[in-house]
Amino acid sequence: MPALRPGAKVAIVAPASAAPDASDQAAEWLQERGYAPQVMPASRVRLQPPYDYLAGSDAERLADLHAAFAAPDVSAVWCLQGGFGSWRLLDGLDYELLRRHPKPFIGYSDITALHLALQRRAGFVTFHGPMLAQDMLAGKREPTESHLLAMLSGQFGQGAWIDPPLDAPATTLVPGTATGRLVGGNLALIAALIGSPYEIDTRDAILFIEDVNEALPRVDRLLNQLAAAGKFDGVKGVLVGSFTRILGVQMDDAQAQGMLYPLILDQFRGRGIPVLGGWPSGHGNPNLTLPLGARVTLDTGRGALRLEQAVVIR
């Protein structure tokens, strides 16, 4: 897919929850960085109860996505925020249209449902990265912004390393090196789609997981659900992202991560695959961008990922 160039038009979409007051602020943020924003209509909407967690009706949110991908002058489709509701769109998406018009699609959290569906049905790389309202307007620290824009503009080519910042190094849980497609996202959404046509394909993959506001027993249950569904059997390596605001744990996020690792090791220590923890992608701060669907190498010795393919064309 083409790289994002200076001055390019960027569509602002809200496929999940509403943030109607943030869409115009997000447009200003993009303008300040030299891009031409296009605010899609549903991003300015909040439905009435009991659907007030949604930005517009399913039909309106689908129409925004379809219009943004189909428009020849739109170079990227950037989500305003996550929340709830992306999964409601999966059966209605025109995957053939999206396949014909691949372009950078950026988001995370509830947007994981769309990432998984696009991987299964459209087949192009999508970006698990910071969202406009949830991250950029909230002031997530560097290299959150620069890392995403560098990746979208093609500064990360084949052979480039994706390294965490020096003040947020990753933690080796099981040493080793492995190569595969990078797949995953929010753990709860991955589990929620098991049994659906959009469930995650983990064969020969590097699995990335992250989450927020989950208790440790629930994380354990989600992991065991995926294991029971056979989703760990073909995994080549595991990248454990930010697990923030863990419920019932009275310590900061960095300390709480350590409480999570025994649950991770229960699942993967005996599988003979490398596991890297504490990766700063997801709901934490900073939030590094990951190219889902791209072939990568996980190297715990370096504590980093290497791109084995270009993810955009400059």
Active site residue 109: yes
* CA 89/CA 103 separation, integer angstroms: 19
d(CA 107, CA 3): 17
Nearest Cα to Cα of residue 276 among 202, 164, 171: 171
Decide if 283 is catalytic.
yes
Contacts with 58 (C-beta within 8 Å, 6 or more apart), sequence order:
88, 89, 92
Q: Phi and psi dihedrals of 159, rounded to 5?
A: 90, -10
Give me the catalytic one of 17, 210, 214, 242: 210
**Cα 119 to Cα 99, 183, 197, distances in angstroms:** 10, 8, 12
The reply to whether 210 belongs to the active site is yes
Q: What torsion, rounded to 10 degrees, do the Cα atoms 293, 261, 147, 252 define?
A: 140
The one catalytic residue in 17, 23, 109, 281 is: 109
Active-site residues: which are they?
109, 210, 283
